Amino acid sequence: METVLLTGSAGFIGMHTAEKLLNAGYQVVSLDNINDYYDVSLKYARLQKLGIAKEKILYNQEVHGLDGFSFIQLALEDAGNLNNLFAKKKIDYVIHLAAQAGVRYSITNPRNYIDSNIIGFYNILEACRYYPVKHLVFASSSSVYGLNKNVPFKEADHTAHPVSLYAATKKANEIIGHSYSQLYNISMTGLRFFTVYGPWGRPDMAPFKFTKAILNGETIQVYNHGEMQRDFTYVEDIVEGVYLTLKNRPEFNKEYNHQFPDPSGSSAPYSIFNIGNSKPVHLMEFIQSVERATGKKAKMDLMPMQPGDVHITYASTENLRRATGYNPSTGIQDGINAFVNWYKEFYGNG
């Protein structure tokens, strides 16, 4: 039975990914620092769903949950204990989802992003260098496309002008990761996630904030006066794509043309893919979906564009589909219905 090291397992996508891997028969060793960027009780509840009781968690101590699943509270900046884990365990694959998330938060708390997203990722790469794995899959972000107006966004597009530090750290991950893949023959794939939503989602994301406010009769803040579009992608579709990617290990490409280099490819055993729904939704249409799911009308405060925001995200997923068979299938209303039903069950109706 193969073992996957999963980082960010107390997170939204991480919890769902852990469930997918366990159902597929993998052993999962998971990490999370359980920081307080948002309500930690939600993170502990996700871990509880994986069989990990809050009172059993101690820093750098392995706790066993569901059959085949274990959890270690560990900061990725803690290189010594991370390397000890790789030395002790036989890790076949790594899925690296842990990161300091949030575009707006990066404007006021930049150091958190350097520590977690740059230093933490570097430590993962060093561990994979000295304790080789079959494939490292890591989370990048659609934010790397910045203010690009050529839609849909394609992997070959220009990504050198990020408009937030969060985006810059994700682009740095892609570049540093490529150098490690080239130098040390590490098979590696980066996935540019596009606005993931669904049950157990993050409180700082629009589906959560809008649902909470509408159910409570509170006013929602609608940025850029609603003139925005997002490629909302349901979490189960995302996790299926992550799983399919894990099973498709990139190899050295001797045919790569270095005279006319394509940013979407490489001669190294390295791939970069968009992973989204490829169906951008207008913000006002999204709000209407939440209204239908909750049965309540939204009170809106129309506001200007916020620093670090972009007008549209829209993924071209043709490359990922050709490589893995990725085929997202969840429409926005079905996905929002599932999220609102979870929210009501978890928090109550208001």
Q: Tell me: the pLDDT tens digits for 281-333?
A: 999 999 999 999 999 999 999 989 888 778 889 999 999 999 999 999 999 99
pLDDT at 147: 87
Distance CA 99, CA 113 (A): 8
67-85 average pLDDT score: 98
Helix (H, G, I), strand (E, B), or coil: what is residue 188?
strand
Burial 41-80 (b: 16+ CB within 10 A, else e): ebbbebbeebbbeeeebeeeeebebeebbbbbbbbbebbe
Q: pLDDT tens, 189-228? A: 999 999 999 999 999 999 999 999 999 999 998 988 888 9
Query: Is the confidence at residue 350, as pLDDT, over 60?
Result: no
Q: pLDDT tens, 148-199? A: 888 999 999 999 999 999 999 999 999 999 999 999 999 999 999 999 999 9
Closest CA to 136 of 86, 171, 100, 77: 86
Query: Is the confidence at residue 82, as pLDDT, over 70?
Result: yes
Q: pLDDT tens, 220-279? A: 989 888 889 999 999 999 999 999 999 999 999 999 999 988 888 899 999 999 999 999
Q: What is the DSSP letter of 314?
A: -
Distance CA 160, CA 167 (A): 10
pLDDT at 40: 97
Residue 175, CA distances (Å) to 140, 178, 262, 263 in order:
11, 5, 14, 11
Q: pLDDT tens, 19-61? A: 999 999 999 999 999 999 999 999 999 999 999 999 999 999 9
Query: What pTM, to 2 d.p., does this model score?
Result: 0.95
Any catalytic annotation for residue 166? yes
- Estimate the share of the chain in helix, then strand, then coil, as percent rounded to the nearest 5: 40, 15, 40
Distance CA 186, CA 163 (A): 30
Catalytic residue among 37, 122, 145, 166: 166
Distance CA 339, CA 249 (A): 32
Tell me the two tokens of residue 103.
Answer: 């575009």
pLDDT at 290: 97
Tell me the two tokens of residue 169.
Answer: 């750290």
Domains detected in the chain: 3-194+235-276+316-329 (3.40.50.720)
- Alpha helices (H) along 101-220: 105-108, 110-113, 120-130, 165-184, 206-215
Q: Which residues pair with 93 in a beta bridge?
A: 4, 135
pLDDT at 310: 80
Q: Do residues 91 and 26 lie in contact, with contact meaning Cβ atoms separated by under 8 Å? A: no
Q: Do residues 190 and 173 lie in contact, with contact meaning Cβ atoms separated by under 8 Å? A: yes
